[in-house]
Amino acid sequence: MEKKAAIEIRHIRKVYNTYTKEFDRFREAISLTRKSYHKEFVALQDVNLTVYPGECVGIIGTNGSGKSTLLKIITGVLNQTSGEVSLKGHVSSLLELGAGFNRNYTGMENIYLNGRIMGFTDEEIRQRIPEIEQFAGIGDFIHQPVKNYSSGMFARLAFAVAINVDPDILIVDEALSVGDVFFQTKCYHKFDEFRKKGKTILFVSHDLGSVIKYCDRCMLLNRGQQIATGDSKEVVDLYRKIMVEHSNAAEQAETVSPGNHVSGNQEKKVSGKMRWPQDRIWKTDMLQNPESQEYGDRRGEIIDYGIMNEHGEISSMLMKGEEFTVLYRFRINKPIDHPIFAFTIRDLKGTELCGTNTLYEDQIIETAEAGLTGVVHFTQRMTLQGGQYMLSLGLTGYINGELNAYHRLYDVCHVQVLSDLNTVGVFDLESKVGYDDVHVERGSDR
């Protein structure tokens, strides 16, 4: 017997009419000749997706790719220009933080308000109050106006309401990003419970590690076009590739299925020599920090920098466990004895987590003459937990026993580590877990 789809999206297209001047809208409306004064903006073009009961499917893409527009069409908030949407079962959605909440009402009053909107009687809502209160965990604040809530408290209550109305389909759009790590873990456990009960989840998130870990499949949108649908890790890899190459969506279009890996430039070494992209400025492919600090006397300069992933691509996104290379171009402007090249990775609070330099690694250039240029590279495996980090670079050296900074770039660019398995702390010890001699002792009184 063929399994029936919980969500079926067929050839969805959404077009907005945009006007240079607001008066043009009025001129178009009263035009006897039906003259057009607008331009069309295609937000979505021929998007198709089928989701079955018990599946958790992710939707990823850059800002402006059409993710939220698609969810609003699925939930009926927006009407599509063309195409069809079919839903089987009761839908609960969390599209925007606090959507459907009256900020002047208390949390409890908003629970009843949302329940009534979803078609529940007051008695049915009352039966769900204990579960909602327990999951939200905001205590007596539930009796305070929600306008006094923090964004985290808002998210807790909104998500608690959304999941405790017993939906067949749960649709979530980035609402978990404002919660703390403990609340997010609680929500993801709820996702697992839902899937085991045969319920369907559609999940939009910029947290690509969570998409890989919790979503059975994933769809990638770029500039309103459906680029790929398939295995979450493979689709995320394609997303990283598009981000690296700034590719046009139409040029990247392909459907990914399990076992069909998206291949990048796998060649990193030729005859033992490190290879890197030669046809571009690396730092333009990095997520640069506009508030980075730069100083030094410029006897030597860092003129370009980047992080190369295991596919030989320059990218700010790395997978936990993959081999990566920090590399930067330098130029020596005045003679320097024993220049020291360094990199450091820090967390967003400024704590130095790891790094090294050519002095520690015993890789020293004895004398760097004026006009010397080159590339220094540090290759290692990423063992930091999934999260957000900053990269710092330095070119220094000793003059008369004193350390001198020739060129330093503090927090010059952002680094995102993606992980489907985070352990305790900052680093993964890569423990190998096993069991031995597991048996039941017979004849024990215990």
> How far is it, in rounded angstroms, from Cα 151 to Cα 49?
32
DSSP 8-state assignment for residue 3? P
pLDDT score for 403: 93
Please give the tally of structural domains in the chain: 2
Of 202, 245, 238, nearest in space to 94 by CA: 202
pLDDT of residue 96: 64
Q: Identify whether residues 61 and 179 lie together within a single domain.
A: yes
Q: For residue 290, what are its two tokens? A: 């506009």
DSSP E strands in 125-282: the ranges are: 169-173, 200-204, 217-222, 225-231, 269-270, 273-274
- pLDDT at 263 (0 to 100): 36
pLDDT of residue 271: 42
pLDDT of residue 176: 64
The whole-number pLDDT of residue 257 equals 43
Within a domain: 410:
yes
Residue 311 CB neighbours (<10 A): 18
Distance between CA atoms of 275 and 137, rounded to whole angstroms? 53
Structure tokens at 342: 């360094």
Is residue 424 a part of any domain in this protein? no
What is the Cα–Cα distance from 16 to 328, expressed in whole angstroms?
44
Within a domain: 327: yes
Q: Do residues 198 and 74 both lie within one domain?
A: yes
| Rounded Cα–Cα distance for residues 114 and 93 (Å) | 11
pLDDT at 255: 45
Structural domain boundaries enclosing 286: 278-418
Count of C-beta atoms within a 10 Å radius of residue 29? 8
| Pair 166, 120: CB distance under 8 Å | no
What's the pLDDT score for residue 262?
Answer: 38
Query: Which pLDDT does position 384 carry in this prediction?
Result: 95
What pLDDT is recorded for position 98?
59
Q: Looking at residue 149, what is its pLDDT?
A: 86
Give pLDDT, residue 260: 36
d(C-alpha 7, C-alpha 67), whole Å: 16
C-alpha–C-alpha distance, residues 335 and 339, integer Å? 10
CB atoms under 10 Å from CB of 401, counted, come to 5
**176, 313: one domain:** no
Residues 197 and 320 reside in one and the same domain = no
Domain match, 241 and 318 both: no
Q: Do 236 and 321 lie in a common domain? A: no
pLDDT, residue 444, reads 59
Question: pLDDT value at position 85?
Answer: 93
Whether 183 and 314 share a structural domain: no
User: Last residue of a domain, which of 252, 287, 315?
Assistant: 252
Low-confidence spans in the chain with pLDDT less than 70: 1-2, 96-100, 175-182, 244-274, 443-446
* Secondary structure class of 26 (helix, strand, coil): helix
Q: Which residue has the tokens 């939930």?
A: 75
Number of neighbouring beta carbons within 10 Å of residue 99? 13
218-234 pLDDT, tens digit each:
999 998 999 999 999 88
> Is residue 140 classed as helix, strand or coil in its secondary structure?
helix
> What's the pLDDT at 318?
93
CATH, residue 324? 2.70.50.60
Residue 30 is part of a domain; what is its CATH number? Answer: 3.40.50.300
* Same domain (yes/no): 364, 245: no
- The answer to the question of residue 259 being in a domain is no
Q: Compute the distance between CA of residue 93 and CA of residue 90 in angstroms, rounded to an integer.
A: 10
Q: Which residues pair with 289 in a beta bridge?
A: none
Examine the domain organization and report whether 232 and 304 are in the same domain: no
